[in-house]
Chains A and B, each alone.
Chain A
Amino acid sequence: MTDYREDFLKKLRDKVEKWERETLPKSLSRYPERMERFTTLSGIEIKRIYTPLDIKDTHYLERIGLPGEYPYTRGIHATMYRGRIWTMRMFSGFGTAEDTNKRLKFLVEHGETGLSLAFDYPTLLGIDSDDPMAHGEVGVTGVAVDTLKDMEIIFDGIDLGKVTTNMTINPPAPILYSMYLAVAEKQGVPREKIGGTTQNDPLKEFIAQKSYIFPPEPAVKIAMDLVEYSVRNTPKWNPISISGYHIREAGSTAVQELAFTLADGIAYVRHLVERGHDVDSFAHRLSFFFDSHINFFEEIAKFRAARRMWAKIMKEWFGAKKERSLWLRFHTQTAGVSLTAQQPYNNIVRTAIEALAAVLGGTQSLHTNALDEPYRVPSEFAAKIALRTQQIIAYETGVADVVDPLAGSYYVEWLTDKIEEEAWRYIERIERMGGMIEAVRKGYPQKELTEASYRFQKEVEEGIRKIVGVNIFTEEDEEEVRNVPLLDIDPNEVEERQIRRLREVKRGRDSARVESTLNNLRDAARRGENIVPYILEAVKAYATEGEIMNVLKEVYGVWTEPIIY
């Protein structure tokens, strides 16, 4: 069965054979090919040419269809960017709350349509700024948050009813979410109006990002508490962003990124269904986050395959009925790992190409990396170029004026099918292991990543993978490297300021109230209740992030990773 007429396919097959016999050898003798084998960045072998023969079994109506309709290969909306340009969401945050408040206001003034907060490592790991483990890390890669006070300052003068905020935070997500809610309450913004995202995706922490704290099972339980609470209380909030980005950055292939991310998603949906929720009561609030790497078509194909697969999973595996439950809505970030420390201005070009792939893949929002990110948190100058890159794609190039313009490309459709097929194979393997929670406990995806990244590095060393400025077109004295203007922060000064504020807050708060809210939280956690309302109470009493996390560690234990290389 095929969309094409049999006689046409036969003619085409004959023509291709003739071409291979006559036209091709002439060309090959004059211009031998650069390599014996061409592969995508993920190692998928690709031919020199694709024709309808390669997609003859891809039924257009079922597999590709129209935008805004199942299986959503061409996009979740009928008009896509003709209606509204994607959200330009730039990850930012550094130093103390005051520094970040200033940066957020700067970005809003330059036309950014959504905020995205980066937290420092102590905050990501639920450690207070005065903990000895935090020394040297306070405010370095993001903003330091210890108590509600810090969040009040970060959003000072920014109306939470008017902006949406993405928060890249995982095990402590319910705490930061509660702080945001508390700030909104103080500003007088009703809960139904606040919008944004908490990353809140614990499984990929075990696989890739490694900011895990609790063992896999309680980690998923806590994250799903937030989903449950958020769906009921903040209907415009995305309580989870199921993330492939970190998996890819940690060295996976595009196929692994896709497969592991969807397998994580399956684990979450399964958990919530087992808790007794109707799949259509929460599925529309799940969102995704992918990487856009440098191998252009592979990325576009990955995004298209992702939408098609998720729609199928939700419809056929979980019996979702509402249209919105089937949508894979996703945020994209260009590949930090593709940037080079050498010849840093080349990174602008890489980012532009990756951003273009994300747009052609139908992303809902996009972060473009700044050229200086191989070194540290971007300078204002670099962050602005990154934002302008998106604006140029959106308003000058015309690529946003047609929906899914690459549909029907024999290569892109073939590659979409191929990536999907390989991703299913991974998902099936994980299912046989008992799902992603089990797989993670056994270290299966971790092991796959370690293998893939070692293989890639070997290929770079052997020159099979070429990187400009690294293994080809290298320069000895790189004046430009020395001259890149970097954001200048003095970590010691930031740490001192932050610890001073933390102490002030601790002095000024009602310590009996802190203690009683923490005790209530502990009891609720032991009873197995949803812990978010109790965290919210503790946050409002100005309990610190570290204090709240310690209570949870007591109840749920902590995780050490299996030994994997």
Chain B
Amino acid sequence: MDYSRLIEKALKGDRLATGRLLSIVERDPRGASMVLESLPEREGYHVIGVTGIAGSGKSTLLSRLLTHYADKGYRCAVVAIDPSSAYSRGALLGDRIRMQMHATNPNIFIRSVSTRGLKGGLSFAGVAMIDVFGRLGYDKVFIESIGVGQADVDIMRIADTIVVVTVPGLGDDIQALKAGVMEIGDIYVINKVDKDREGANKTMEYLLFAIEAGELGHRGWRPRIVKTSAVLDEGIDELIDAIEEHYRFILGTGRYGSGRERRREILVRLLAEKMLIDALESIEIETGKDLYEGALELLRRVTARYVDTTGGGEA
């Protein structure tokens, strides 16, 4: 297949070509590395993770962020990661539903990725796509996931800036808040303030207390807190200011580069995992064996290859 023409078109902003290029990235790691190598290096694209506690309205908030960023002329991409699909079965990706109103916005490109049962929720394709979008000229690459718990935290760690969405009235159950996503934010949003102004103050107090106590924030960054009502489109520009402030902070302190390094490391690890899973899947399909038996079969074949030097190069 002639990739160069697709790449040329995608660099010019052709959406059909971009979509097809992403499929090459998704299809196999060889294609992914080829696409990445063929695209010019580009500095400064900003990877933003949006996550939050259940019922915080983070999808609506992300939607508002997209509208505001796109209106300001930024090119935005969304990688919507769905870690819920089971291994070696089909997948139903529903994240798009909540972002379809942006489908026709020329400044916004949305792509869904299923992780196909890989632990941790990250997939090789998902991570590779982020940098493909960056190199294709997108300014803001958003990561969104419908994952929960540790899977979600793992996904968010590949972002340069993490936005954690919370709700009014937090603080009563501090234990529940201690774990997981509440700890990773660079920016905390108190959404739905229109519903409960008093409760919003309570959450604010709680977050401030946690920040003062040194429980939140890391490496010289003091997390920002922003109040919003995504439904009523209030506080979004303030949120963007906070995100941009963090962006300038990581550029200024050299943390931007380390974010990219982290993605590369993760890619290598995921590549190894992916190769193993792919090999197992082929065996599963070929022989009808389940995952465990498939692993044994793989082991047998690998051993056989080392022992039987006459075997061909088939993997």
Contacts and interface: CB of A to CB of B under 8 A. Distances in A.
A563 B231 contact: no
A560 B94 contact: no
Contact of A557 (B59, B94, B95, B232): B232
Given A215-B231, A557-B231, A565 B94 contact: yes
Contacts of B94: 563-565
Contacts of A442: 55
A560 B232 contact: no
B208 to A, nearest CB: 28
A564 B55 CA distance: 14
Contacts of B146: 563
B232 A565 contact: no
A561 interface: yes
A247 to B, nearest CB: 21
Q: Sort chain A's interface into a size bin.
A: 10 to 19
Nearest to A438: B55
Interface string B225-251: 000000111000000000000000000
B92 interface: yes
Contact of B95 (A558, A563, A565): A563
With a 10 A CB-CB cut-off, give which of A442, A558, A563 has the most chain B CB atoms.
Answer: A563
Contact of A560 (B55, B59, B92, B233): B59
Contacts of A560: 59-60, 63, 97-98
Nearest to A561: B97
Interface string A537-565: 00000000000000000000110110111
B97 A563 contact: yes
A174 B257 CA distance: 57
Contacts of A441: 55
B97 A565 contact: no
Contact of A563 (B60, B63, B98): B98
A563 B84 CA distance: 12
Nearest to A441: B55
Interface string B213-233: 000000000000000000111
A158 B141 CA distance: 60
A152 to B, nearest CB: 35
Contacts of B59: 560
Interface in B17-70: 55, 59-60, 63
A561 B94 CA distance: 11
Most buried by A among B59, B146, B231: B231
Nearest to B63: A560
Contacts of A558: 231
Interface of B: 55, 59-60, 63, 92, 94-95, 97-98, 146, 231-233
Given A560-B60, A561-B97, A563-B94, 18 more contacts: A215-B231, A441-B55, A442-B55, A557-B231, A557-B232, A557-B233, A558-B231, A560-B59, A560-B63, A560-B97, A560-B98, A563-B95, A563-B97, A563-B98, A563-B146, A564-B94, A565-B92, A565-B94
21 contacts: A215-B231, A441-B55, A442-B55, A557-B231, A557-B232, A557-B233, A558-B231, A560-B59, A560-B60, A560-B63, A560-B97, A560-B98, A561-B97, A563-B94, A563-B95, A563-B97, A563-B98, A563-B146, A564-B94, A565-B92, A565-B94
4 closest A-B pairs by beta carbon, nearest first, are A557-B231, A563-B94, A560-B98, A557-B232
